[in-house]
Amino acid sequence: MRAILRTIGELSITLGVVLLLFCAYLLWGTSSYTERHQRLLQQQLVAEQAEKTLGKIQLGGAVALLKLPRLGATYKYAIVEGIEDEHLRQGPGHYPGSAQPGEVGNFVVSGHRTTYAAPFNRIDELEKGDDIVIDAREARYTYKVTGTKIVEPTEVDVIEPVPGRPGKKAEKAVITLSTCHPEYSARQRLIVFGTLAKTEERDVI
Amino acid sequence: MYGFVWRHLPGNTAAKLVGMLLLLGLAGLFLWYGVFPWLEPRVALDEVTVG
């Protein structure tokens, strides 16, 4: 009897330690995967910028560099094309079919909040008027934050060409960032909206 | 469970201790690089997209 109880106790403690280790893996272990792929995506962007003709961005390819000065001068992530798990593990993902950087319509990007290097961990700190810099291959687009919102995961209005107005034709270039909310939960989504404020063309070599 | 492993490890106390740490380390590595990457996509902790 005592032996059985002891074994149950030992198994319980072991399970607890394994769960703690799994949490550590989620928070830190997944980051190394993202960092490895970020290096590759950023190299891809630099290489493509040097090309004379810019080809269409393939699923899984690098779209642009995202910079958020509010979160520090070193904040820099390559946006990947696609929003499936495999894409979002590599960095913030651009919804295929939503507008391209700088294009009239809605440029929609989703990113992880807590795992896989957590690129969007602190986007709740963005304030109205803050810059969202998108360094695309052909130009630098600077969007200004116009507001943030917490929505249910089913509210797909926010990724419409005109956010919140399904079916309406877009006249402005806007950006929408989305991540999970609250932190460590999949219950809701945190959305940050922005409008294109400045375009700086880049000379293609 | 741990007592059983301890009794079957060879050598004196020091050798047993090294053996035990080695086994735990191997189990940890197996979890970190084998089980966790498999398990992680199955627990939706960090859902970020809408729709």
Bridge partners (DSSP) of residue A179 are A190
Residue B31 domain-assigned? yes
**Residue B49, domain member (yes or no):** no
Report how many domains make up chain B: 1
Binary contact (A11, B1; C-beta < 8 A): yes
Give the pLDDT of residue A186: 83
Beta strand extents in B1-51 (DSSP E only)? none
Question: For residue A168, what is the DSSP state?
Answer: P
The label of the residue with tokens 């270039």 reads A173
- Chain B hits for A124, Cβ within 8 Å: none
Residue B50, domain member (yes or no): no
Residue A83: closest CA among chain B residues belongs to which residue? B49
The reply to whether B25 touches chain A by the CB within 8 Å rule is no
A69: CATH: 2.40.260.10
The predicted model gives B5-30 an average pLDDT of 94
Give the closest residue to B39 by CA, choosing from A75, A23, A70, A180.
A23
Are A52 and A16 a contacting pair, CB within 8 Å?
Answer: no
Q: What is the pTM of this model?
A: 0.86
* Element of type H or E holding B3: helix B2-8
> How close is the nearest chain A Cα to the Cα of B31, in Å?
8
For residue B14, the enclosing domain spans 2-42
- Report the residue of chain A nearest B35, measured CA to CA: A22
Burial class (CB in 10 A: 0-12, 13-18, 19+), A186: middle
- Find the Cα–Cα–Cα–Cα dihedral B37, B43, B46, B50, rounded to 10°: 120
Cβ pair B40:A26 closer than 8 A: yes
- Give me the number of domains chain A comprises: 1
Shortest CA gap A137–chain B (Å): 25
Domain presence at residue B47: no
Q: Which residues of B touch A12 (CB under 8 A)?
A: none
A63-77: b or e for each residue (b if 16 or more CB lie within 10 Å)? bbbbbbebbeeeebb
Q: Could you report the per-residue pLDDT of B18-45, keeping only the tens digit for each?
A: 999 999 999 999 999 999 999 988 886 7
> Do the Cβ atoms of A103 and A173 come closer than 8 Å?
yes
> Which residues, numbered 134 to 163 in chain A, qualify as contacts with chain B under a Cβ-Cβ cut-off of 8 Å?
151, 153-156, 158-159
> Residue A174 gets which letter from DSSP?
E
SS3 per-residue string spanning A45-113: HHHHHCCCCCCCCCCCCEEEEEECHHHCCCCEEEEEECCCHHHHCCCCEECCCCCCCCCCEEEEEECCC
Residues of A in Cβ contact (< 8 Å) with B51: 153-154, 156, 159
**C-alpha distance from A48 to closest chain B C-alpha (Å):** 28
Q: Is B3 on the interface with A (CB under 8 A)?
A: yes
Tens digits of pLDDT across chain A (205 residues): 888 999 999 999 999 999 999 999 998 899 999 999 999 999 999 898 888 778 889 999 999 999 999 999 999 999 999 999 999 999 999 999 999 999 999 999 999 999 999 999 999 999 999 999 999 998 999 999 999 999 999 999 999 999 989 888 999 999 999 999 898 888 899 999 999 999 998 765 4
Structural domain containing residue A186: 2-201
Length of chain B as a residue count = 51
Q: Is residue B51 part of a domain?
A: no
Task: Answer for the pair A125, A110: CB distance below 8 angstroms, yes or no.
Answer: no
